[in-house]
Amino acid sequence: MSMQTKRVVFFGECMVEHRADGEMFFGGDTFNTAWYCQHLCAQLTKPPMAVYYASAIGTAAQDDAFAKLMTENDIHDEFLLRHPQRKMGRYWVSHSQYGERVFRFDRANSAARAYFELGDTLSDALTHGLIDAIYLSGISLAILPATDRSYFIDKLRDFKRQGGIILFDNNYRPSLWQGINPQPDYRALMAIADIAFLTNDDEYVLYGTHNPREIIEFHSTGSRNRQLLVIRQGAASCVLYCNESKTRIEVPACQVESFAVVDTCAAGDAFSAGFLVNFLLEEDTVASATVAHRLAAVVIQHQGALISPTLIPNLLNQELLVE
């Protein structure tokens, strides 16, 4: 990946977040990653990416507030569409004494589910190479109707053939796949993903694997894709596997005392952001994983999916920071 600024679109669903502390804000896996990518990039004199978010929202006051939040935080909104009847979904978070999350959702009428009914803005960008990379997750796939999901995957295959970069997070929520076998769609994405962020527990449920070695074997056997697997294991070391060179590296996580853990809601999303921004800067997987761990360790010590930009430390190459 070259050092020129890449136009990266994050596709998915952002929701109204009702935090465990009673506060209300926003959150959603791919938007969380976009948020942290943008605020890491804002620290740099020459950021490696321009951050775009693709989703659909409604016309209610809170939907307007979300659009305003994107503008105020320099997240490009060319791919943010409006639905005249639907609106943003909601979720409520409660936590165990160790900061682990328990969710309750209201997303049946989510505007994001109807994204591809609203226009061809993103499809055209994929077809005509108007962007450089797209980041999506298992949740991004799950919220779409089956016909739209198939259409989207076909567009992603075409984008890949033209040299586009595909970044995939395996975030798996069984409740979103009721009555549907998720494996065909997950396998379709894994076949074209350049970087795959894999939470180990999700892999175990999806494929019946039991450890990182089996995850690597499952995805690399017979694969010709020049793919980087980034296996997240919570508070344990992450595992990096390059399918091209067949190298495996473990990078230790930052240890956070249990009493300091407040909210693990966006730990994996922040991890992905830290890894991506640093990797686009210097293509050093170990350094990128170290930044990822450090950012995740900060995020879990604060309430909510999106912590204030003032709480995000300077984790990147000091020579590249804005003075």
Report DSSP letters for 70-85, one per residue: HHHTT-B-TTEEE-SS
| C-alpha to C-alpha distance for 315 and 73, rounded to whole angstroms | 19
Residue 84 has pLDDT above 80, yes or no: yes
Q: List, for residues 193-203, the tens digit of each pLDDT value.
A: 999 999 999 99
Residue 188 has pLDDT above 60, yes or no: yes
Q: List, for residues 284-304, the tens digit of each pLDDT value.
A: 999 999 999 999 999 999 998
Number of Cβ within 10 Å of residue 104's Cβ equals: 10
The mean per-residue pLDDT over the stretch 50-77 comes to: 97
Residue 2 has pLDDT above 70, yes or no: no
DSSP 160: H
pTM, entire model? 0.95
Beta strands in the chain (DSSP E): 6-11, 15-18, 24-27, 49-57, 80-82, 90-95, 101-106, 133-137, 165-169, 195-199, 228-232, 238-242, 247-251
Per cent of the chain over pLDDT 70 is 94
The mean per-residue pLDDT over the stretch 108-125 comes to: 97
Active site residue 269: yes
Q: According to the model, what pLDDT value does residue 292 have?
A: 96
Is the distance from CB of 111 to CB of 58 less than 8 angstroms? yes
Return the domain boundaries, the chain. Answer: 11-316
Q: According to the model, what pLDDT value does residue 217 have?
A: 96
Q: How far is CA 89 from CA 56, 59, 70, 255, in A?
A: 11, 13, 17, 34
Which one is catalytic: 29, 63, 202, 269?
Answer: 269
Task: Compute the mean pLDDT over every residue in the chain, rounded to the nearest whole number.
Answer: 93
Q: According to the model, what pLDDT value does residue 80 have?
A: 98
Q: According to the model, what pLDDT value does residue 318 have?
A: 58
CATH of the domain spanning 11-316: 3.40.1190.20
Token pair for 156? 């992603």
Q: According to the model, what pLDDT value does residue 99 have?
A: 56
Please give the residue that has the higher pLDDT: either 223 or 137.
137
Q: List, for residues 248-265, the tens digit of each pLDDT value.
A: 999 999 999 999 998 888
Residue 45 has pLDDT above 60, yes or no: yes
Is the distance from CB of 25 to CB of 306 less than 8 angstroms? yes
Q: List, for residues 127-153, the tens digit of each pLDDT value.
A: 999 999 999 999 999 999 999 999 999
Q: According to the model, what pLDDT value does residue 317 have?
A: 65
C-alpha torsion sign, points 221, 225, 228, 230: negative
Residue 322 has pLDDT above 60, yes or no: no
